[in-house]
Structure 1
Amino acid sequence: MTALFKKIIITYTFIYPFNFLVAAQDFQVSLLTCDPGDELYSAFGHNAIRVLDKNSGQDFVFNYGTFDFNVPFFYVKFTQRTLDYMLSVTTFDRFLMEYNYNRRSVREQILDLSPEQTMEMYKFLQINYLPQNRFYRYDFFYDNCATRIRDAMEEILGDQLDWNEDLLAEEKTFRNLIDEYVYRLPWADFGIDLALGSVIDVKAEEREKQFLPDYMETAFGRAMIVGDGPTRPLVKENRIILDFPERTAVLDLWNPHIIWWAFAMAVFILTYIGFRRKRLFKGFDIAFFSVLGLLGLLVVLLWFFTFHSQTKYNWNILWAFPGHLFLAIALLRKNTKPWVNRYLMAAMILANMTLVFWIFGWQSFHSSIIPILLVILLRTNFLYYNLKKFSVEQIA
């Protein structure tokens, strides 16, 4: 779209708004739902609002899911949750280009709004698009491209909107809901379970599930408008705009479960050889506990030094503990200090506590950490009983 064309659209649409009281019946407001993509940022799908002027043919999409990659310190702000998302406006054709290129299906739910409600929705979007209003602080669960649309509908319709929630819907935690979308991306699934804490292992209410676009689409399809004439469904027509085959999960041998179990088997063999030859192979432990310590620092950073609410109370810190870095440094010495054995015992206890937290449901961990926990228990036990007895052969 050329700069001139953009200027014409913005001028005509936002500086000279239409008289909706006269012509609102010629406008059509829709919810667009886009299928998930192959990358993590697109793995959960997308929602947007379409406003079509059936007389002039002007066709706009209001998108709450955009951000500026050129913001200074983009990745730092993204990690700390200080990056603002924004409402953007584009034409419907341009919006579809990306989804057609990436072969992602797009569905439309045309809303059965009265002329007055249509006017209020458009005014709401106009005000939201003002430079001082278009930016907002993104939150994956509570303030995203889907929840912004939900909140807009609730503000416009008020008590006239009945979500008509399914009282028999399956109970799911926020982590369960995420898992439904990232199972196709095993390493992303592992990373998410490592980074997010126990705060997401709580039941998501039906309204809260609407942070996911597919659940938003289902909620719109079930919702009713009441007290505005005869009770009617919120959605009067469903249309398929783009239709592509559903993405299916492909078995990938390069996934955390296979890699970590293969790693654990290799460590069992290494430990057995060390026991038979009376060698410690401390080089492995220095590397292993260094990695665990660095992961622990990441957990601490996300827990205490960011504004993400979902990274709090993350009990992955029980096995990925920053203190393991001190153990790695201590093992570099030829003669280890007496505190090292006490620390090894503490590390065993922390690893076992991870299982306790898991069993009692205080946090759900990624199942692939089981072999990692076994390695921690094996090596801490091996070092605890043999550190003073065996000769040392460090491996590169």
Structure 2
Amino acid sequence: MNFKKIAISLIFLLTISWLGAVQAQQYQISLLTCDPGEEIYSSFGHSGIRVTELTTGRDVVYNYGTFDFGAPNFVLNFAGGRLDYFLSVSTFDRFIAEYDYFQRSVREQVLDLNEQQKLDLIRFLENNYLPENRAYRYDFFFDNCATRVRDALATVLGDQLVWNDAVREPVDMSFRGLIDEMVYFMTWSDLGIDLALGSRLDKDATPLEEQFLPKYVEGAFARAEIQGDGPTRLLVEKSRDVLKFEKAEGAFGAINPYWIFWLVALIFTAITFLGFKKKKLFVGFDVAFFGILGIIGIVISLLWIGSEIPSTRYNWNILWAFPGHLVLAIVLLKKTIKPWVLKYLLFALIMADAAVVFWILGWQSFHPSLIPLLLVMILRTNYLYYNVGKFKKVV
């Protein structure tokens, strides 16, 4: 009899404790990590914070990666580093529907926060969502949708959050290498990024700096621990696949800069050989070549000088794609040339050689597809320097 009473009492107490725990557990907070998409703006993946209110069923995602394509001067502001992103909130179902439509996998890591930590994080997010706070000046490497999620949690937990970066698998990659990893098969986008961004990208990223990419935030969360509010525990309580799609094998597009630039190099080699044999310059090819390089050089200069993006500065692509090449292209159309043209050709040759030296010494890594263009640059500046005076009057 006493045994039955004790058993019933224990069951009653356990039930009350369980109900109390369920009632106290009002929120579930998760990190959502989304795989890259096929467009350049989605090719690095995405991070969001999911907040589920267990008592009401309210299920929303806080998304720091929202921007407005229709904003005035969108392209100029993006290139100039003056584009604002903002925090938006949508239902979980609506958030997931987009990734389901584009067949992009989404993974969820449920965070093992106590109830006070959850409330503090929700207050932080809601404060960020106020109209006067939701916009922020976007920086691809240091202030984006992934770093904002990481920093929100770090701000709320403070010293209780320990990242455990020492136990991670070594990456030891530069910022440029991390980008290349994501856009390797998007050859034209990869080339454009390498042309636009300077030598600052060629330093190795620290474990914290790697987290500008969502997949590295996901890895950091998986390693992290919470200390100081009881027994040390992992930050992530459990993980699951929300959406899972097979990744297509990467492949270069049929039209890519690698074979096109080598084809350009073969053409210029052929016309140089033919010009040497037939004693002709075939200067029309040079006008097109140096004209394009000059235009690229102007864009690089504008990004270096006029952009607020620090990563566009100290861009040594300007050694071979120099704005002055556009002037050279125009001058080569004339029947007579000034003496400075010969000096400029020698200058351009030295600059192209310097670009190769910078690349070899690791001061800046250029896109691999540019090798044939550098060879053309060296070949034609050398050929013109010794031969242009034979065909055009120097006055």
TM-score normalised by length of structure 2: 0.92
Alignment of 1:148-297 (within 5 A): 148-166=148-166, 169-297=170-298
**Cross-structure match for 2:358:** 357
- SS of 1:368's partner is helix
1:34 aligns with 2:24: no
The percent identity for this pair of structures is 56
Structure 2 distance, partners of 1:355, 1:72, is: 40
C-alpha displacement at 1:157, in angstroms? 0.5
Check the 8 A contact 1:280/1:391 in 2, yes or no. no
Q: Call closer, same or farther: CA 1:306–1:23 in 2, change over 3 Å.
A: farther
Secondary structure of 1:388's counterpart equals: helix
String of CA shifts for 1:281-323, please: whole Å, max 9, x gaps.
1111111111100000000011110101110100000000001
1:84 equivalent in alignment to 2:80: no
Structure 1 unaligned runs (5+)? 1-20
Secondary structure (helix, strand or coil) at the match of 2:177 reads helix
1:34-113 aligned at under 5 Å gives the runs 34-113=34-113
Contact persistence 1:24–1:116 (CA under 8 A): no
Which position in structure 2 is the counterpart of 1:17? none
TM, length-normalised to structure 1: 0.92
Partner SS, residue 44 of structure 2: coil
* Aligned-pair CA distance for 1:253: 3.3
Work out whether residues 61 and 92 of structure 2, in 8 Å CA contact, stay in contact via their aligned partners in 1: yes
Cα distance, 1:79 vs. partner? 1.4
- Residue type matched to 1:171 in 2? D
What is the distance in 2 between the residues matched to 1:88 and 1:170? 32
Q: What does the per-residue CA deviation read over 1:136-194, in whole Å, with 9 as the maximum and x for residues that have no partner?
A: 00000000000001111111100000001135513111111001100020111111111
Residue 391 of structure 1, CA deviation: 7.3
Letter in 1 for 2:270: I
Q: CA separation in 1, counterparts of 2:286 and 2:391?
A: 15
* Contact 2:290/2:325 (8 A) holds in 1: yes
Alignment partner, residue 309 of structure 1: 310
Residue pair 1:278, 1:391 contacting (<8 A) in 2 also = no
Structure 2: distance between partners of 1:174 and 1:228: 36
Query: Which range is displaced more, 188-197 or 22-31?
Result: 22-31
CA RMSD of aligned residues (A): 1.5
The one-letter amino acid paired with 2:150 is R
Contact in 2 for aligned 1:24/1:118 (Cα 8 Å)? no
**More displaced 10-residue stretch of structure 1: 32-41 or 274-283:** 274-283
Q: Which amino acid aligns with 1:29?
A: I
Displacement, 1:70? 2.4
Q: How far apart are 1:359 and its partner, in Å?
A: 1.0
- CA distance in 2 between counterparts of 1:54 and 1:189 reads 44
Distance across 1 between alignment mates of 2:232 and 2:191: 46
Q: Which amino acid aligns with 1:313?
A: Y
Query: Is the CA contact (8 Å cut-off) linking 1:164 and 1:222 kept in structure 2?
Result: yes
Tell me the secondary structure at the aligned position of residue 387 of structure 1. helix
Comparing 76-85 and 27-36, the one that deviates more: 76-85
Q: What is the distance in 1 between the residues matched to 2:128 and 2:24?
A: 19
Task: Name the CA distance, whole Å, in 2 between partners of 1:300 and 1:52.
Answer: 48
Aligned partner of 1:124 in structure 2 is 124
- The AA in structure 2 aligned to 1:174 is F
Q: 1:24 Cα shift?
A: 5.7
Contact between 2:337 and 2:392, CA under 8 Å: does it hold in 1? no
SS in 2 for 1:110: strand
Secondary structure at 1:385 match in 2: helix
* 2:382 paired with 1:381: yes
Amino acid at match of 1:82: R
Name the counterpart of 2:138: 138
Q: Which residue of 2 aligns with 1:3?
A: none
CA deviation map 1:236-289 (0-9, x unaligned): 010100000013212333111111001100111111111111110111111111
Name the residue aligned to 2:344. 343
Structure 1 contact 279–391 (Cα < 8 Å) conserved = no
Match of residue 17 from structure 2:
none
User: 1:321 maps to which residue?
Assistant: 322
Unaligned 5+ runs, structure 2: 1-20
Q: How many pairs align?
A: 372
User: d(CA) in 1 for partners of 2:369 and 2:74?
Assistant: 31
1:104 Cα offset (Å): 0.1
- For 2:268, the aligned partner's letter is V
8 A contact 1:223–1:234 mirrored in 2: yes
In 2, Cα distance between the equivalents of 1:266 and 1:391? 23
> In the aligned structure 2, how far is the partner of 1:352 from the partner of 1:292?
16
Q: Partners in 1 of 2:146 and 2:48 — Cα distance? A: 8
| In 2, Cα distance between equivalents of 1:240 and 1:358 | 42
Quote how far apart the aligned CAs of 1:37 are: 0.5
Instruction: Note if contact 1:32-1:107 (Cα within 8 Å) is conserved in structure 2.
Output: yes
The answer to whether residue 331 in structure 2 is matched with residue 330 in structure 1 is: yes
